[in-house]
Amino acid sequence: MKIKIERALISVSDKKGIIDFAKKLESFGIQIISTGGTYKALNEAGVKVIKIDELTGFPEMLDGRVKTLHPFVHGGILANRKIESHMEQIEKAGIKKIDMVVVNLYPFRETIAKPDVTMEEAIENIDIGGPTMIRSAAKNNGSVAVVTDPGDYDIIIDEMVKNDGFILRKTLFSLSIKAFKHTCEYDSYIFNYFIKKISEHGSDNIKIEEALNVDNTKALHEVMAGSNIFKNEDGTFKDEMKLSIEKKQNLRYGENPHQKASYYKFSDALPSSFVMAEQLQGKELSYNNILDGNAAFNIVKEFEKPCVSVIKHNNPCGCAIGKSIEDAYARAYAADPVSAYGSVVASNYKWNQKATEFLMDKYVEIIIAPDFEDKAIEMLSQKPNLRVLKINFDLNNYISKIKNNDSSIMYPDVKSVEGGLIIQDSDMGADSFEEMKVVTDAQPDESQWADLLFGWQVVKNVKSNAILIVKDETTVGVGAGQMSRIDSTKIAVEKSQGKCEGAVIASDAFFPFSDAIDIAAENKISAIIQPGGSIRDEEVIQACNKYGITMVFTGKRHFKH
C-alpha cells in the first residue's frame, strides 16, 4: 500500500536542507503550505508557497503562539481517508487534505543549555502547534507522512522518485515512530527543566505529589531526581533505569580495524562534558581518540592553575602545572618526549599562540581546550589533520562546584560487561588535605606538599598499579598498568631519566612491602604519598624513617582499571 502526496505543510525551526526539499516536493506538483519564518525562507527562495493564514482565514496571533491550531489544519491532517464519513465531513466543511507534515520543533533544549537563560526565554521556546501537528500526522500515519528529521529528506525524495510521487505504507509507519520519539524526548526536556525549577518557585500552596499526579513513592523520588538517569534522590543507584542515549556519529572502526563502533551521548549531557566538544578542524575522531581525549581533559579540568596533560593509550606520559599554558605544555612534554609522539594534549586554559608555536614541530593527534586564540587557530590550520576540540568549559565554575561537593557535574563511571553494565561514582574532585596524615618522623616542606598534592591528583588518572614521580608540579616518571607495584616503581624511575633526586612519589594504592621504598631511597626520592592500609604499614613507615623519606597517608585509594 502507498499514498500519493498532493499537499504538504512545512513549518520548521531547523531549516537545514528545507529549501532543496521543498523545491523537490514542488517538482512533483505538490502544493506547499507554510508558516512564519519558514514561509519567508521558502518564498524568498522562489518556492510557490501558501501562507498558513490564507489556508485558515485567521491571522497568526499572540506573537506566533497561535497559528496552526485550527480545524482547517488538523481536519486536513487527521481525516482518515478510509472512512467515508470523515471524507464527507471535511468536504462539507471546506477542508482540504494535508498528506505530508514536515515539522521540527522550537529549540527548547538548545535554549536551556545556554548560560544564564531565563525562565521566560525557556517558556517562549516551548512549541505548542508543532508537537500537535506531529502527533496528529503520526496518529494518522496510514494516510499522512510525518517528517521530523532533516536527515530523512533525501530518503523520502528517492522513494517518491522510484514510486511516481507515492510513499510506501511501511515508510509512513517508520516515520510515525520517529515522530512520536521526537515529541516524547522534547516533552521530557521540558518536564525535567520544570522539575528542577520547583525549588526556585516553591511549592507552599500545592503538594508536589498532587502536581505530578504520583504517590509519594519510589516513582516520585525518580521524578524528583530530575535528569539524573542513574540515581535516586538519596544518592543510591536506581533498581531500574531507562538510558536516553543519542548517536553522535558513526566511527570508522573501534579499538582495532575489524571492530565496528559508534559514538553516543546521553541526552542530558552537560555542555561542559567531553561528549559535547566542538571539533574545529581535523580528521574524524577515532574510537581511541575519544577515549584518550576524555582522559586528557579529565585530568586538567580539576586544577585551578594552568595545566596541560599529554596522553598516550589512556595514560598520561606527561602532566604539569605552569606559570602559563606554554610553560605547562613545555614541562609536560619534556617529561617523556619519546612517548609524546602521536599524543593527545589537553589544556584547562585558553590555548594560545606561544603554546601553538611549541607544538608546531611535534606530531600530535588532538589538542583540546576550553577556547583558542585566533592566532593559534590560524597556525593550527597549517596542520589540517590535527583534530582541534573546543569544550564549552568554565573552569572557575567547575572548581567552585568541586569544592562545594556538587555532584551535578559528575557523571557516573559506566563500563560494559558481557550482557550488562557496571556503574560507579566517578573518582572526581580533590581529596581533603585535612584528612591526610604525615606518618613519618620527617615532615613535608612547602614545595614537597605542592608536589605531593599534585601527584595525588594526577595518579588517580593512571592505570593501576600506578606510580607517579613528580618534581616541581610536573610528572617526571610514570609507571602504569603493571601487575606489581614494584614493577611500576622501577618503570617510573627508568622513565624519569635521572630526575628523581628531590622528587616525590604518588602511589594509587598502599605498598604491600618495603621493597619499593628501597628503590625510592636509592634514587633519592624525598617524599611519598599513598593511601596506607597495608598490614605491613609499620614496616613501610620504618623504612621511610630509616632513609629520611617523608610519607603521607591519604586514607583513600585511587585504583583505575
Q: Kindly list the catalytic residues.
A: 139, 313
Q: What 8-state DSSP symbol labels residue 409? A: G
Best CA proximity match to 512, nearest among 494, 476, 487: 487
CA distance to 49, 88, 97, per residue, from 4 (Å): 19, 19, 11
Complete edge-to-edge strand list for the sheet that includes strand 364-369 = 278-281, 387-390, 364-369, 343-347, 307-312, 315-321
Which burial class, exposed, middle or buried, applies to 526 when counting CB atoms under 10 A from its CB (0-12, 13-18, 19+)? Answer: buried
Q: What 8-state DSSP symbol labels residue 237? A: B
Residue type at 352 in one-letter notation: N
Q: What 8-state DSSP symbol labels residue 431? A: P
Q: Rounding to the nearest 10 degrees, give the CA dihedral for residues 43, 49, 53, 54.
A: 130
Helix (H) or strand (E) holding 157: helix 153-162
Q: Which residues 6+ apart lie within 8 Å of 54 measured at CB? A: none
Best CA proximity match to 528, nearest among 464, 435, 440, 432: 440
Best CA proximity match to 366, nearest among 441, 294, 418, 289: 289
* 327, three cell numbers: 610553560
- Whether the CB-CB separation of 67 and 61 falls below 8 Å is answered with yes
- Whether the CB-CB separation of 88 and 109 falls below 8 Å is answered with no
Q: What 8-state DSSP symbol labels residue 128? A: S
* 302, three cell numbers: 580539576
Spell out a b/e string for 145-170, using b for 16 or more CB atoms within 10 Å of the CB, else e: bbbbebebbeebbebbeeeebbbeee
CA distance to 58, 273, 413, 423, per residue, from 416 (Å): 56, 20, 10, 9
d(CA 465, CA 458): 14
CA distance to 121, 289, 358, 561, per residue, from 390 (Å): 26, 15, 19, 28
Helix ranges, 213-323 (H): 218-224, 287-300
d(CA 490, CA 483): 12
Q: Which residues 6+ apart lie within 8 Å of 376 measured at CB? A: 351, 352, 353, 355, 356
Q: What 8-state DSSP symbol labels residue 330? A: H
Which burial class, exposed, middle or buried, applies to 504 when counting CB atoms under 10 A from its CB (0-12, 13-18, 19+)? Answer: buried
